[in-house]
Amino acid sequence: MKKACCRVAGAVGTAVLVLAGCSAGSGTDHADGPVTITFWGWAGGYADAVKAFDKAHPDIKVDYQEVLPGAKGGYQKMLNAVQADNAPCLAQVGYESLPSFAAQGALQDVARYANADKGDFQPAAWRSVTLGDAVYGAPVDTGPMAMFYNKKVFASLGLKPATTWAEYKAQAKKIHASKPGRYISSPYLNYDYAGLAWQAGAGWFATEGDAWKVTMGSRANKKVADYWQGLADDGLIGKAPMYDQSWYTGLGNGNIATVIGAVWQAGVIKGGAKDGAGDWAVAPLPQWKPGENRVGNAGGSATAVLKGCKSPEAAWEFAHWLSTDKKAYGGLVTKAALYPAATELLSLPQLNRGDPYFGGQNIYKVFAEAAPKVGTGWSWGPVMTKTVADLDDGLGKAWAGKGGTIGDALRTAQEKTLAEMKSQGLKTSQ
């Protein structure tokens, strides 16, 4: 590894200004010893991966420190550390939060080291770690979506997995008619709902020059919102909130017949709905038009380089290794149910086995075929914590029929997001 240097980097073509200043404590080069870099994260298996890296790379030592998951305090700890000028070189940051970190000047551009490795990753994942010409980290995992369905319920009604959303709606009526307490699905909030919009090409954010544009109220978003609102209005969507015990019960006894979700939902369903073992299977997402093959994404994170990292080259070397080393990533699949962003890892043995819970189906084959079809036009906004809070408030009321529609929730979230962006001094094109 060549000796890394510290430099100042600015995001190009976005509404954010990112300063990559130098500070102590985030990784240093030593002529007489290994480079030491600190890494904050929480995913299961990361500690073991770091040990393997250190053993194989005597010129770089990674000091892994476990922190609370991002939304539970990890992100605030990272941002506080950047402000205090003592942040680690690397941190686990979800794709949805990267633009917010960038807007707050908390990231460091490593494009000069990273661009040569761009081809190692799925295009949608690479886009998730870039803003303009800047690269802020290595993609780790992705969340390509598919349809989990209760094959026992489907078989009892003579149904096969829907190939279009129109067919899905027709099946919803038949499923509910078979039993009053049985529904095709449950409500979707925040990033789970975002995946539905993503598949339809209904983006929420874009950039125009150096300004942000919010597009949650677009015609494309209205199409998705009206579709799901129609299912809710017809009484075809259950009331059990996702991840609530009532949701797991419904999955286990067949009262919730499908989950439109990302690959990691497999672990969620298996862990929480043990009574459904053997009853479930996975099929590709229904499409808006017959013959289309479009996929949304829900979830995924990066190993991001934080402002002040004195050893960005070493930081990138480790971040890239963590995302592409077959043995290390196999452990992440086993321990954290991560699904690789690196294209060559889609053939890992851990992703090519039948799963007893899903009747012996190799469900990862469905996701492997879906991953390259995830649309690359999606962008997250710079104030996602605020955006999601406002959106969830409106979505919760819309699903429950307690005021407003899903479309109203999106428009309100857009208005409040724009107000928040302006209050933070971010330039908008609206």
Q: Would you give per-residue pLDDT tens digits along the chain (430 residues)? A: 433 333 223 233 333 433 333 333 455 544 567 999 999 999 999 999 999 999 999 999 999 999 999 989 999 999 999 999 999 999 999 999 999 999 999 999 999 999 999 999 999 999 999 998 999 999 999 999 999 999 999 999 999 999 999 999 999 999 999 999 999 999 999 999 999 999 999 999 998 888 999 999 999 999 999 999 999 999 999 999 999 999 999 999 999 999 999 999 999 999 999 999 999 999 999 999 999 999 999 999 999 999 999 999 999 999 999 999 999 999 999 998 899 999 999 999 999 999 999 999 999 999 999 999 999 999 999 999 999 999 999 999 999 999 899 999 999 999 999 999 999 999 999 8
Could you tell me the maximum CA-CA distance found in the chain, to the nearest angstrom? 74
d(Cα 380, Cα 103) in Å, to the nearest integer? 12
Q: What are phi and psi for residue 32, nearest 5 degrees?
A: -105, 15
Instruction: Tally Cβ neighbours within 10 Å of residue 332.
Output: 26
Instruction: Tally Cβ neighbours within 10 Å of residue 281.
Output: 21
* Cβ neighbours for 416, distance < 8 A, ≥ 6 positions apart: 386, 387, 390
For residue 2, give both structure tokens: 């060549």
CA distances from 70 to 73, 75, 243, 298 (A): 6, 5, 18, 16
Domains 35-141+300-351 and 145-297+365-423 share a fold: yes
Residue 390 half-sphere exposure toward CB, CA atoms < 13 A = 19
DSSP-derived 3-state class of residue 6: coil
Instruction: Tally Cβ neighbours within 10 Å of residue 216.
Output: 26
DSSP-derived 3-state class of residue 292: coil
Q: String of b and e for 133-159 (b: at least 16 CB within 10 Å)?
A: ebbbbbbbbbbbbbbbbbbebbeeeeb
**Any idea where the domains of the chain sit in the sequence?**
35-141+300-351, 145-297+365-423
Architecture of domain 35-141+300-351: 3-Layer(aba) Sandwich (3.40)
Nearest to 416 by CA among 396, 405, 430: 430
Options 3.20.20.70, 1.25.40.10, 3.40.190.10, 1.10.760.10; CATH for 145-297+365-423 is: 3.40.190.10
Q: Please give the helix or strand (H or E) that residue 212 lies within, else none.
A: strand 211-214
